[in-house]
Structure 1
Protein backbone atom coordinates (compact mmCIF):
# COMPACT_ATOMS: atom_id res chain seq x y z
CA UNK A 1 0.00 0.00 0.00
CA UNK A 2 1.35 3.45 -0.88
CA UNK A 3 -0.27 6.45 0.75
CA UNK A 4 0.68 9.23 3.16
CA UNK A 5 1.32 6.76 5.99
CA UNK A 6 3.54 4.36 4.04
CA UNK A 7 7.16 4.11 5.22
CA UNK A 8 10.24 4.38 2.99
CA UNK A 9 12.21 1.11 3.24
CA UNK A 10 15.49 1.86 1.41
CA UNK A 11 17.89 4.74 0.74
CA UNK A 12 18.84 7.79 2.82
CA UNK A 13 15.23 8.54 3.72
CA UNK A 14 14.46 5.02 5.02
CA UNK A 15 12.14 5.11 8.01
CA UNK A 16 10.40 8.33 6.99
CA UNK A 17 6.76 8.27 5.95
CA UNK A 18 5.45 9.64 2.68
CA UNK A 19 3.74 12.30 4.80
CA UNK A 20 7.18 13.31 6.17
CA UNK A 21 8.48 13.70 2.61
CA UNK A 22 5.40 15.68 1.66
CA UNK A 23 6.09 18.18 4.45
CA UNK A 24 9.84 18.43 3.81
CA UNK A 25 9.88 18.35 -0.01
CA UNK A 26 6.38 19.16 -1.29
CA UNK A 27 7.29 20.52 -4.72
CA UNK A 28 9.90 17.87 -5.49
CA UNK A 29 7.49 15.09 -4.53
CA UNK A 30 4.17 16.24 -5.99
CA UNK A 31 5.18 18.60 -8.80
CA UNK A 32 3.64 22.01 -9.51
CA UNK A 33 0.07 20.91 -10.28
CA UNK A 34 -0.87 19.50 -6.87
CA UNK A 35 -1.51 21.32 -3.57
CA UNK A 36 0.55 19.75 -0.74
CA UNK A 37 -1.95 21.13 1.79
CA UNK A 38 -4.46 18.58 0.47
CA UNK A 39 -2.20 15.66 1.40
CA UNK A 40 -0.99 12.74 -0.69
CA UNK A 41 -3.76 12.14 -3.23
CA UNK A 42 -3.59 8.44 -4.17
CA UNK A 43 -3.72 5.08 -2.41
CA UNK A 44 -2.54 1.73 -3.77
CA UNK A 45 -3.89 -1.57 -2.40
CA UNK A 46 -3.45 -5.27 -3.14
CA UNK A 47 -6.70 -7.11 -2.39
CA UNK A 48 -6.82 -10.90 -1.93
CA UNK A 49 -10.53 -11.73 -1.81
CA UNK A 50 -11.45 -14.95 0.00
CA UNK A 51 -15.13 -14.11 0.55
CA UNK A 52 -17.65 -11.68 -0.87
CA UNK A 53 -16.83 -8.09 0.06
CA UNK A 54 -19.81 -5.90 0.91
CA UNK A 55 -21.90 -4.28 -1.80
CA UNK A 56 -20.78 -0.68 -1.44
CA UNK A 57 -20.62 2.74 -3.03
CA UNK A 58 -18.40 5.79 -2.58
CA UNK A 59 -19.18 9.51 -2.81
CA UNK A 60 -17.55 11.94 -5.24
CA UNK A 61 -15.54 14.92 -4.00
CA UNK A 62 -18.49 17.30 -3.61
CA UNK A 63 -20.62 14.71 -1.79
CA UNK A 64 -17.77 13.74 0.57
CA UNK A 65 -17.16 17.39 1.45
CA UNK A 66 -20.86 17.90 2.18
CA UNK A 67 -21.50 14.62 4.01
CA UNK A 68 -18.19 13.89 5.79
CA UNK A 69 -16.04 17.01 6.21
CA UNK A 70 -15.01 20.07 4.14
CA UNK A 71 -11.55 18.67 3.37
CA UNK A 72 -12.63 15.11 2.56
CA UNK A 73 -12.00 13.50 -0.83
CA UNK A 74 -14.40 11.33 -2.74
CA UNK A 75 -13.33 7.86 -3.81
CA UNK A 76 -12.97 7.01 -7.46
CA UNK A 77 -10.97 3.82 -8.03
CA UNK A 78 -9.81 1.26 -10.57
CA UNK A 79 -9.05 -2.46 -10.31
CA UNK A 80 -6.49 -4.48 -12.30
CA UNK A 81 -6.91 -8.25 -11.94
CA UNK A 82 -3.72 -10.18 -11.14
CA UNK A 83 -5.24 -13.64 -10.53
CA UNK A 84 -8.74 -14.97 -11.14
CA UNK A 85 -9.84 -18.39 -9.88
CA UNK A 86 -12.18 -20.34 -12.20
CA UNK A 87 -15.71 -19.17 -11.52
CA UNK A 88 -14.70 -16.06 -9.57
CA UNK A 89 -17.24 -13.25 -9.89
CA UNK A 90 -17.78 -9.55 -9.50
CA UNK A 91 -21.39 -9.76 -10.61
CA UNK A 92 -19.64 -9.87 -14.00
CA UNK A 93 -16.89 -12.05 -15.41
CA UNK A 94 -13.21 -11.09 -15.35
CA UNK A 95 -9.90 -12.51 -16.52
CA UNK A 96 -6.29 -11.85 -15.55
CA UNK A 97 -5.10 -8.53 -17.00
CA UNK A 98 -8.57 -6.97 -17.19
CA UNK A 99 -8.94 -3.49 -15.71
CA UNK A 100 -12.18 -2.07 -14.33
CA UNK A 101 -12.73 1.64 -13.68
CA UNK A 102 -15.13 2.35 -10.78
CA UNK A 103 -16.13 6.02 -10.71
CA UNK A 104 -17.59 7.44 -7.50
CA UNK A 105 -21.30 6.66 -7.31
CA UNK A 106 -21.00 3.15 -8.81
CA UNK A 107 -22.38 0.23 -6.77
CA UNK A 108 -19.80 -2.57 -6.65
CA UNK A 109 -18.76 -5.77 -4.87
CA UNK A 110 -15.82 -8.17 -5.17
CA UNK A 111 -16.23 -11.92 -4.82
CA UNK A 112 -13.90 -14.70 -3.62
CA UNK A 113 -11.06 -15.98 -5.79
CA UNK A 114 -9.76 -12.60 -6.94
CA UNK A 115 -6.33 -11.08 -6.42
CA UNK A 116 -6.21 -7.53 -7.66
CA UNK A 117 -4.36 -4.24 -7.65
CA UNK A 118 -6.44 -1.20 -6.72
CA UNK A 119 -5.62 2.47 -7.23
CA UNK A 120 -7.96 4.99 -5.64
CA UNK A 121 -8.24 8.49 -4.32
CA UNK A 122 -6.78 8.61 -0.81
CA UNK A 123 -10.07 8.28 1.06
CA UNK A 124 -11.62 5.76 3.46
CA UNK A 125 -15.21 6.88 2.92
CA UNK A 126 -17.27 3.78 2.10
CA UNK A 127 -21.04 3.36 2.32
CA UNK A 128 -22.20 -0.26 2.68
CA UNK A 129 -25.48 -1.23 1.06
CA UNK A 130 -25.49 -4.97 1.83
CA UNK A 131 -23.04 -7.26 3.67
CA UNK A 132 -24.26 -10.73 2.61
CA UNK A 133 -26.22 -11.22 5.88
CA UNK A 134 -23.09 -11.15 8.04
CA UNK A 135 -23.79 -10.03 11.63
CA UNK A 136 -23.80 -6.26 11.97
CA UNK A 137 -21.03 -4.67 14.03
CA UNK A 138 -19.74 -1.19 14.74
CA UNK A 139 -17.01 -1.69 12.15
CA UNK A 140 -19.33 -3.05 9.47
CA UNK A 141 -22.45 -0.95 9.75
CA UNK A 142 -24.76 -0.40 6.78
CA UNK A 143 -25.22 3.12 5.42
CA UNK A 144 -28.49 2.97 3.53
CA UNK A 145 -29.43 6.66 3.58
CA UNK A 146 -25.94 7.75 2.55
CA UNK A 147 -25.83 5.09 -0.18
CA UNK A 148 -29.11 6.28 -1.67
CA UNK A 149 -27.79 9.85 -1.66
CA UNK A 150 -24.58 9.08 -3.59
CA UNK A 151 -25.45 6.13 -5.86
CA UNK A 152 -25.87 6.91 -9.54
CA UNK A 153 -28.02 4.37 -11.36
CA UNK A 154 -26.61 5.52 -14.71
CA UNK A 155 -23.06 4.49 -13.84
CA UNK A 156 -21.40 1.12 -14.31
CA UNK A 157 -17.82 -0.04 -14.31
CA UNK A 158 -15.83 0.68 -17.48
CA UNK A 159 -13.90 -2.39 -18.70
CA UNK A 160 -10.51 -2.43 -20.38
CA UNK A 161 -10.12 -6.04 -21.50
CA UNK A 162 -6.79 -7.86 -21.33
CA UNK A 163 -7.60 -9.34 -24.74
CA UNK A 164 -7.32 -5.82 -26.17
CA UNK A 165 -4.34 -4.45 -24.21
CA UNK A 166 -2.28 -7.37 -22.94
CA UNK A 167 -2.17 -5.39 -19.68
CA UNK A 168 0.06 -2.67 -21.18
CA UNK A 169 -0.50 0.88 -22.39
CA UNK A 170 -3.07 3.28 -20.97
CA UNK A 171 -5.61 1.30 -18.94
CA UNK A 172 -7.52 4.09 -17.17
CA UNK A 173 -7.58 7.87 -17.51
CA UNK A 174 -9.90 9.97 -15.37
CA UNK A 175 -9.88 13.30 -13.56
CA UNK A 176 -8.29 11.75 -10.47
CA UNK A 177 -5.56 9.49 -11.89
CA UNK A 178 -4.05 7.74 -14.89
CA UNK A 179 -3.06 4.06 -14.82
CA UNK A 180 -0.71 2.54 -17.41
CA UNK A 181 0.80 -0.91 -17.80
CA UNK A 182 4.50 -1.01 -18.75
CA UNK A 183 6.90 -3.85 -19.58
CA UNK A 184 10.62 -4.04 -18.87
CA UNK A 185 12.73 -2.09 -21.35
CA UNK A 186 10.42 0.93 -21.49
CA UNK A 187 10.74 4.52 -20.24
CA UNK A 188 7.64 6.39 -19.06
CA UNK A 189 7.38 10.17 -18.77
CA UNK A 190 5.60 11.24 -15.58
CA UNK A 191 4.11 14.46 -16.95
CA UNK A 192 5.20 16.73 -14.12
CA UNK A 193 3.83 14.66 -11.22
CA UNK A 194 4.89 11.70 -9.08
CA UNK A 195 4.48 8.08 -10.19
CA UNK A 196 3.58 4.99 -8.14
CA UNK A 197 5.29 2.01 -9.80
CA UNK A 198 3.99 -1.41 -8.71
CA UNK A 199 5.59 -4.56 -10.14
CA UNK A 200 2.90 -7.14 -10.93
CA UNK A 201 4.88 -9.71 -12.96
CA UNK A 202 8.52 -10.78 -12.70
CA UNK A 203 11.28 -8.75 -11.07
CA UNK A 204 12.18 -5.35 -12.51
CA UNK A 205 14.83 -2.74 -11.88
CA UNK A 206 13.28 0.70 -11.51
CA UNK A 207 15.55 3.58 -12.56
CA UNK A 208 14.65 7.21 -11.84
CA UNK A 209 16.53 10.35 -10.83
CA UNK A 210 19.89 8.60 -10.96
CA UNK A 211 18.79 5.85 -8.56
CA UNK A 212 18.21 2.15 -9.26
CA UNK A 213 16.25 -0.32 -7.15
CA UNK A 214 15.33 -3.94 -7.84
CA UNK A 215 11.66 -4.59 -7.13
CA UNK A 216 10.08 -8.01 -6.59
CA UNK A 217 6.45 -8.79 -7.45
CA UNK A 218 3.91 -6.58 -5.64
CA UNK A 219 6.55 -4.10 -4.48
CA UNK A 220 5.81 -0.40 -5.05
CA UNK A 221 8.24 2.46 -5.70
CA UNK A 222 7.24 6.10 -5.26
CA UNK A 223 9.05 8.14 -7.94
CA UNK A 224 8.97 11.88 -7.09
CA UNK A 225 7.93 14.47 -9.64
CA UNK A 226 11.42 15.97 -9.93
CA UNK A 227 12.72 12.73 -11.49
CA UNK A 228 10.46 13.41 -14.52
CA UNK A 229 10.61 9.87 -15.92
CA UNK A 230 11.05 6.23 -14.92
CA UNK A 231 12.78 3.39 -16.79
CA UNK A 232 12.10 -0.29 -16.18
CA UNK A 233 14.65 -2.96 -17.04
CA UNK A 234 14.30 -6.71 -16.78
CA UNK A 235 11.59 -9.19 -17.69
CA UNK A 236 8.24 -8.39 -16.20
CA UNK A 237 5.40 -5.88 -16.07
CA UNK A 238 4.49 -2.99 -13.81
CA UNK A 239 1.53 -0.69 -13.28
CA UNK A 240 2.26 3.04 -12.98
CA UNK A 241 -0.32 5.33 -11.38
CA UNK A 242 -0.01 9.12 -11.66
CA UNK A 243 -2.41 11.83 -10.49
Structure 2
Protein backbone atom coordinates (compact mmCIF):
# COMPACT_ATOMS: atom_id res chain seq x y z
CA UNK A 1 0.00 0.00 0.00
CA UNK A 2 1.18 3.60 -0.51
CA UNK A 3 2.51 5.53 2.46
CA UNK A 4 1.00 8.87 1.38
CA UNK A 5 -2.53 9.51 0.09
CA UNK A 6 -3.34 12.99 -1.19
CA UNK A 7 -7.07 13.70 -0.96
CA UNK A 8 -9.39 15.74 -3.18
CA UNK A 9 -11.85 17.68 -0.99
CA UNK A 10 -15.60 17.78 -1.45
CA UNK A 11 -17.25 21.20 -1.30
CA UNK A 12 -20.61 22.05 0.25
CA UNK A 13 -22.56 25.29 0.02
CA UNK A 14 -24.96 26.53 2.67
CA UNK A 15 -26.67 29.87 3.18
CA UNK A 16 -23.91 31.16 5.49
CA UNK A 17 -20.91 30.45 3.20
CA UNK A 18 -18.42 32.81 1.53
CA UNK A 19 -15.90 32.84 -1.32
CA UNK A 20 -12.56 32.25 0.38
CA UNK A 21 -12.43 28.51 -0.27
CA UNK A 22 -13.17 28.81 -4.00
CA UNK A 23 -12.86 32.44 -5.17
CA UNK A 24 -15.85 33.45 -7.24
CA UNK A 25 -17.97 30.54 -5.99
CA UNK A 26 -20.08 30.56 -2.84
CA UNK A 27 -18.77 27.73 -0.68
CA UNK A 28 -19.46 27.12 3.00
CA UNK A 29 -17.37 24.00 3.67
CA UNK A 30 -14.47 22.07 2.19
CA UNK A 31 -14.53 18.47 3.44
CA UNK A 32 -10.79 17.94 3.31
CA UNK A 33 -10.67 14.57 5.12
CA UNK A 34 -13.82 12.53 4.65
CA UNK A 35 -14.51 8.91 3.86
CA UNK A 36 -16.10 9.98 0.56
CA UNK A 37 -13.05 12.02 -0.57
CA UNK A 38 -11.22 10.61 -3.57
CA UNK A 39 -7.50 9.89 -3.81
CA UNK A 40 -5.72 12.32 -6.13
CA UNK A 41 -2.77 10.33 -7.50
CA UNK A 42 -1.15 6.91 -7.78
CA UNK A 43 -2.53 3.44 -8.35
CA UNK A 44 -5.57 4.24 -6.21
CA UNK A 45 -6.41 7.50 -8.00
CA UNK A 46 -10.17 8.04 -8.06
CA UNK A 47 -10.90 5.53 -5.28
CA UNK A 48 -12.47 6.84 -2.09
CA UNK A 49 -10.89 7.00 1.33
CA UNK A 50 -13.60 4.59 2.51
CA UNK A 51 -12.48 2.06 -0.11
CA UNK A 52 -8.86 2.47 0.97
CA UNK A 53 -9.82 1.90 4.62
CA UNK A 54 -11.73 -1.26 3.70
CA UNK A 55 -8.76 -2.55 1.72
CA UNK A 56 -5.93 -1.77 4.14
CA UNK A 57 -7.65 -1.64 7.54
CA UNK A 58 -5.36 -1.06 10.51
CA UNK A 59 -2.31 -0.62 8.26
CA UNK A 60 -3.85 2.65 7.09
CA UNK A 61 -5.91 3.66 10.11
CA UNK A 62 -3.85 2.43 13.05
CA UNK A 63 -4.77 0.10 15.86
CA UNK A 64 -6.63 2.64 18.01
CA UNK A 65 -8.96 3.74 15.22
CA UNK A 66 -9.42 0.16 14.04
CA UNK A 67 -10.58 -0.91 17.49
CA UNK A 68 -12.95 2.04 17.79
CA UNK A 69 -14.61 2.36 14.38
CA UNK A 70 -13.48 -0.71 12.43
CA UNK A 71 -13.07 -0.01 8.73
CA UNK A 72 -14.98 3.30 9.02
CA UNK A 73 -12.59 6.22 8.71
CA UNK A 74 -12.77 7.74 12.23
CA UNK A 75 -12.62 11.48 11.48
CA UNK A 76 -14.31 14.15 9.41
CA UNK A 77 -12.24 17.30 8.87
CA UNK A 78 -13.59 20.47 7.27
CA UNK A 79 -12.63 24.05 6.57
CA UNK A 80 -15.54 26.46 7.13
CA UNK A 81 -15.90 29.94 5.60
CA UNK A 82 -18.45 31.76 7.76
CA UNK A 83 -19.97 34.95 6.33
CA UNK A 84 -23.23 34.74 8.30
CA UNK A 85 -24.12 33.20 11.64
CA UNK A 86 -24.33 29.42 11.55
CA UNK A 87 -27.34 27.93 13.29
CA UNK A 88 -27.19 27.54 17.05
CA UNK A 89 -26.76 23.79 17.24
CA UNK A 90 -25.67 20.80 19.25
CA UNK A 91 -24.34 17.30 18.54
CA UNK A 92 -25.07 14.03 20.39
CA UNK A 93 -22.56 11.74 22.05
CA UNK A 94 -22.09 8.15 20.84
CA UNK A 95 -24.83 6.64 22.99
CA UNK A 96 -27.33 9.38 22.12
CA UNK A 97 -26.50 9.09 18.41
CA UNK A 98 -27.28 5.38 18.45
CA UNK A 99 -30.53 5.95 20.33
CA UNK A 100 -31.74 8.84 18.16
CA UNK A 101 -30.34 8.08 14.72
CA UNK A 102 -29.58 4.36 14.53
CA UNK A 103 -27.11 1.69 15.68
CA UNK A 104 -24.44 2.53 13.09
CA UNK A 105 -24.21 6.22 14.05
CA UNK A 106 -21.43 7.98 15.98
CA UNK A 107 -21.56 11.05 18.18
CA UNK A 108 -19.77 14.26 17.37
CA UNK A 109 -17.14 15.73 19.63
CA UNK A 110 -15.21 18.37 17.70
CA UNK A 111 -12.54 21.07 17.85
CA UNK A 112 -12.06 24.34 15.97
CA UNK A 113 -8.77 25.99 15.07
CA UNK A 114 -9.31 29.60 14.01
CA UNK A 115 -7.49 30.20 10.71
CA UNK A 116 -8.70 33.79 10.36
CA UNK A 117 -11.00 36.02 12.38
CA UNK A 118 -12.41 39.47 11.71
CA UNK A 119 -11.76 42.01 14.45
CA UNK A 120 -15.37 41.88 15.68
CA UNK A 121 -16.03 38.17 15.09
CA UNK A 122 -17.97 36.36 17.83
CA UNK A 123 -19.00 32.79 18.45
CA UNK A 124 -21.30 30.95 20.82
CA UNK A 125 -19.95 28.12 22.97
CA UNK A 126 -22.00 26.82 25.88
CA UNK A 127 -24.72 28.27 28.08
CA UNK A 128 -24.50 30.70 30.96
CA UNK A 129 -23.36 29.35 34.31
CA UNK A 130 -26.20 28.37 36.60
CA UNK A 131 -28.65 27.51 33.82
CA UNK A 132 -30.81 24.60 34.92
CA UNK A 133 -31.72 21.77 32.56
CA UNK A 134 -35.38 22.79 32.86
CA UNK A 135 -34.65 26.42 31.94
CA UNK A 136 -32.49 25.29 29.05
CA UNK A 137 -35.20 22.97 27.70
CA UNK A 138 -37.79 25.74 27.98
CA UNK A 139 -35.57 28.22 26.10
CA UNK A 140 -34.90 25.70 23.32
CA UNK A 141 -38.61 25.01 22.92
CA UNK A 142 -39.81 28.62 22.97
CA UNK A 143 -37.07 30.10 20.79
CA UNK A 144 -35.38 32.25 23.46
CA UNK A 145 -32.10 30.33 23.59
CA UNK A 146 -30.05 33.46 22.79
CA UNK A 147 -30.91 34.74 26.29
CA UNK A 148 -28.89 31.88 27.81
CA UNK A 149 -25.88 31.38 25.54
CA UNK A 150 -22.26 32.36 26.18
CA UNK A 151 -20.74 34.67 23.55
CA UNK A 152 -16.97 34.66 23.05
CA UNK A 153 -14.48 36.56 20.93
CA UNK A 154 -11.81 34.43 19.29
CA UNK A 155 -8.68 35.42 17.41
CA UNK A 156 -6.63 33.88 14.65
CA UNK A 157 -4.70 30.95 16.11
CA UNK A 158 -7.12 30.21 18.96
CA UNK A 159 -8.32 26.63 19.40
CA UNK A 160 -11.68 25.57 20.88
CA UNK A 161 -12.57 22.09 22.10
CA UNK A 162 -16.28 21.27 21.92
CA UNK A 163 -17.40 18.03 23.61
CA UNK A 164 -20.63 16.49 22.36
CA UNK A 165 -23.61 18.16 24.03
CA UNK A 166 -22.08 21.66 23.93
CA UNK A 167 -24.41 24.22 22.37
CA UNK A 168 -22.46 26.31 19.83
CA UNK A 169 -22.48 28.53 16.73
CA UNK A 170 -19.87 30.32 14.64
CA UNK A 171 -20.50 33.94 13.70
CA UNK A 172 -19.60 35.88 10.55
CA UNK A 173 -15.96 36.65 9.86
CA UNK A 174 -14.39 33.30 10.75
CA UNK A 175 -12.37 30.88 8.64
CA UNK A 176 -12.11 27.68 10.68
CA UNK A 177 -10.46 24.24 10.55
CA UNK A 178 -12.86 21.77 12.19
CA UNK A 179 -11.94 18.23 13.22
CA UNK A 180 -14.61 15.89 14.54
CA UNK A 181 -15.70 12.30 14.89
CA UNK A 182 -16.88 10.62 11.70
CA UNK A 183 -20.37 12.02 12.02
CA UNK A 184 -22.39 14.85 10.54
CA UNK A 185 -25.28 14.55 13.02
CA UNK A 186 -26.35 18.11 13.77
CA UNK A 187 -29.42 19.20 15.73
CA UNK A 188 -30.37 22.83 15.01
CA UNK A 189 -31.86 24.83 17.86
CA UNK A 190 -32.16 28.31 16.32
CA UNK A 191 -31.45 29.52 12.78
CA UNK A 192 -31.63 33.32 13.14
CA UNK A 193 -35.17 33.45 11.72
CA UNK A 194 -34.00 32.68 8.20
CA UNK A 195 -36.90 32.01 5.79
CA UNK A 196 -38.25 28.51 5.35
CA UNK A 197 -36.94 28.61 1.77
CA UNK A 198 -33.42 28.30 3.22
CA UNK A 199 -34.34 24.70 4.07
CA UNK A 200 -32.93 24.82 7.60
CA UNK A 201 -35.06 22.40 9.62
CA UNK A 202 -34.95 22.76 13.41
CA UNK A 203 -34.59 19.71 15.69
CA UNK A 204 -36.12 20.91 18.93
CA UNK A 205 -36.80 17.71 20.87
CA UNK A 206 -33.51 16.08 19.83
CA UNK A 207 -31.71 19.23 20.99
CA UNK A 208 -33.47 19.13 24.35
CA UNK A 209 -32.42 15.49 24.73
CA UNK A 210 -28.70 15.98 24.05
CA UNK A 211 -27.74 19.53 25.17
CA UNK A 212 -25.62 19.67 28.32
CA UNK A 213 -26.67 22.59 30.54
CA UNK A 214 -23.17 22.67 32.05
CA UNK A 215 -21.40 22.29 28.71
CA UNK A 216 -19.02 25.04 27.63
CA UNK A 217 -16.38 25.20 24.95
CA UNK A 218 -12.78 25.28 26.14
CA UNK A 219 -10.76 28.04 24.45
CA UNK A 220 -6.98 27.76 24.16
CA UNK A 221 -5.55 31.14 23.14
CA UNK A 222 -3.02 31.31 20.34
CA UNK A 223 0.55 31.09 21.60
CA UNK A 224 3.94 31.55 20.04
CA UNK A 225 5.28 28.51 18.22
CA UNK A 226 8.96 28.64 17.29
CA UNK A 227 9.99 27.60 13.81
CA UNK A 228 10.81 23.90 13.42
CA UNK A 229 8.58 22.81 16.30
CA UNK A 230 5.17 21.35 17.08
CA UNK A 231 2.60 21.90 19.83
CA UNK A 232 -0.35 19.80 20.91
CA UNK A 233 -3.60 21.77 20.72
CA UNK A 234 -6.18 19.12 21.66
CA UNK A 235 -6.09 15.56 22.92
CA UNK A 236 -9.27 13.64 23.64
CA UNK A 237 -10.42 10.02 23.27
CA UNK A 238 -11.53 10.69 19.69
CA UNK A 239 -8.64 12.66 18.17
CA UNK A 240 -5.39 14.51 18.77
CA UNK A 241 -4.61 17.81 17.03
CA UNK A 242 -1.11 19.27 16.73
CA UNK A 243 0.18 22.50 15.19
CA UNK A 244 3.38 22.10 13.15
CA UNK A 245 5.82 24.81 12.02
CA UNK A 246 8.92 24.45 9.84
CA UNK A 247 11.16 27.11 8.38
CA UNK A 248 14.89 26.51 8.56
CA UNK A 249 14.91 22.72 8.45
CA UNK A 250 12.61 19.71 7.95
CA UNK A 251 10.39 18.68 10.85
CA UNK A 252 10.68 14.96 11.60
CA UNK A 253 7.47 13.16 12.61
CA UNK A 254 6.56 9.55 13.46
CA UNK A 255 3.34 7.55 13.35
CA UNK A 256 4.76 4.74 15.55
CA UNK A 257 2.38 2.48 13.65
CA UNK A 258 -0.43 3.60 15.97
CA UNK A 259 -2.43 6.09 13.90
CA UNK A 260 -2.66 7.70 10.49
CA UNK A 261 -1.62 11.37 10.39
CA UNK A 262 -3.78 13.81 8.39
CA UNK A 263 -1.53 16.76 7.49
CA UNK A 264 -3.19 19.97 6.26
CA UNK A 265 -1.12 23.01 5.32
CA UNK A 266 -2.66 26.20 6.72
CA UNK A 267 0.12 28.69 5.82
CA UNK A 268 2.80 28.56 3.14
CA UNK A 269 3.89 25.43 1.29
CA UNK A 270 5.53 22.20 2.34
CA UNK A 271 6.50 18.78 1.07
CA UNK A 272 5.77 15.58 2.98
CA UNK A 273 8.51 13.00 2.41
CA UNK A 274 8.14 9.37 3.50
CA UNK A 275 10.71 6.94 2.11
CA UNK A 276 10.66 7.30 -1.67
CA UNK A 277 7.24 8.99 -1.69
CA UNK A 278 6.69 12.74 -1.56
CA UNK A 279 3.69 15.07 -1.86
CA UNK A 280 3.89 18.87 -2.05
CA UNK A 281 1.01 20.71 -0.39
CA UNK A 282 -0.30 24.23 -0.91
CA UNK A 283 -2.55 26.04 1.55
CA UNK A 284 -5.54 23.94 2.66
CA UNK A 285 -4.34 20.82 0.83
CA UNK A 286 -4.14 17.56 2.77
CA UNK A 287 -2.19 14.33 2.67
CA UNK A 288 -2.90 11.23 4.73
CA UNK A 289 0.17 9.43 6.10
CA UNK A 290 -0.66 5.75 6.62
CA UNK A 291 -0.24 4.43 10.16
CA UNK A 292 2.26 1.78 9.11
CA UNK A 293 4.49 4.37 7.40
CA UNK A 294 6.56 5.15 10.50
CA UNK A 295 8.89 8.13 10.21
CA UNK A 296 8.42 10.97 7.72
CA UNK A 297 9.37 14.63 7.33
CA UNK A 298 7.68 17.97 6.63
CA UNK A 299 10.04 20.00 4.41
CA UNK A 300 9.25 23.73 4.28
CA UNK A 301 9.20 25.63 1.00
CA UNK A 302 10.18 28.95 2.52
CA UNK A 303 8.12 28.41 5.64
CA UNK A 304 5.09 26.32 6.42
CA UNK A 305 2.50 25.80 9.13
CA UNK A 306 0.30 22.74 9.18
CA UNK A 307 -2.21 20.93 11.37
CA UNK A 308 -1.83 17.24 12.11
CA UNK A 309 -4.88 15.22 13.14
CA UNK A 310 -4.63 11.64 14.40
CA UNK A 311 -6.36 9.10 16.66
CA UNK A 312 -4.07 8.07 19.52
TM range (shorter): over 0.9
Which residue of 2 is the match for residue 236 of structure 1? 304
Contact 2:78 / 2:178 at 8 angstroms: preserved in 1?
yes
Question: Which structure 1 residue ranges, 5 or more long, are not aligned?
Answer: none
Corresponding pairs, count: 243
- Closer, same or farther: CA 201–164 of 1 in aligned 2, 3 Å: closer
> What is the match of residue 82 of structure 1?
115
Partner of 1:20: 51
Structure 1 or 2, whichever has the larger Rg, is 2
The question of whether the paired residues in 1 share the 8 Å contact of 2:270 and 2:298 is answered with yes
Shift, 1:96, TM fit? 0.7
TM-score in terms of structure 2 length: 0.74
Contact 2:245 2:304 in 1 (8 A): yes
1:193 is matched with: 259
Q: Is the contact between residue 225 and residue 245 of structure 2 (CA under 8 Å) also seen in structure 1?
A: no
Q: CA deviation at 1:165?
A: 5.5
Is 1:45 the counterpart of 2:78? The answer is yes
1:180 to 237, 242, 246: 242
Residues 1:171 and 2:233 aligned together = yes
Q: Give the conservation status (yes or no) of the 8 Å contact 1:81–1:95.
A: yes
Output the TM-score relative to the length of structure 1: 0.95
How far has the Cα of 1:160 moved from its partner? 1.3
Q: Secondary structure at the match of 1:72?
A: coil
Q: 2: CA distance between counterparts of 1:16 and 1:181?
A: 29
Judge conservation of contact 1:81–1:96 (CA < 8 Å) in 2.
Answer: yes
CA displacement at 1:137 relative to structure 2: 5.4
Distance 1:240 1:101 in 2: 15
Residues 53-62 or 167-176, more deviating: 167-176
More displaced 10-residue stretch of structure 1: 47-56 or 149-158: 149-158
Q: Does structure 1 retain, via aligned residues, the 8 Å contact 2:53–2:71?
A: no
Structure 1 residue ranges, 4+ long, deviating more than 2 angstroms after superposition: 35-38, 136-139, 163-168, 188-191
Tell me by how many angstroms 1:58 deviates.
0.2
3-state SS of the aligned residue for 1:24? Answer: helix
Instruction: Give deviations 1:172-205, integer Å, cap 9, x for gaps.
Output: 0011000000112222222411111000010011
Pick from 278, 285, 294: which aligns with 1:219?
Answer: 285
Matched, 1:71 2:131: no
5 Å-filtered alignment, 1:65-214, equals 65-90=98-123, 91-136=151-196, 139-163=199-223, 168-184=230-246, 185-191=250-256, 192-214=258-280
* Cα displacement (A) at 1:168: 4.5
Contact 1:190 1:242 in 2 (8 A): no
Given the superposition, is the C-alpha separation of residues 12 and 22 from structure 1 closer, same or farther in structure 2, using an over 3 Å criterion? same
CA distance in 1, matches of 2:198, 2:51: 32
Q: CA deviation at 1:84?
A: 0.7
* SS at 2:195 equivalent: coil
User: Using the alignment, how far apart are the partners of 2:84 and 2:278 within structure 1?
Assistant: 38
Structure 2 residues not aligned, in runs of 5+:
1-31, 124-150
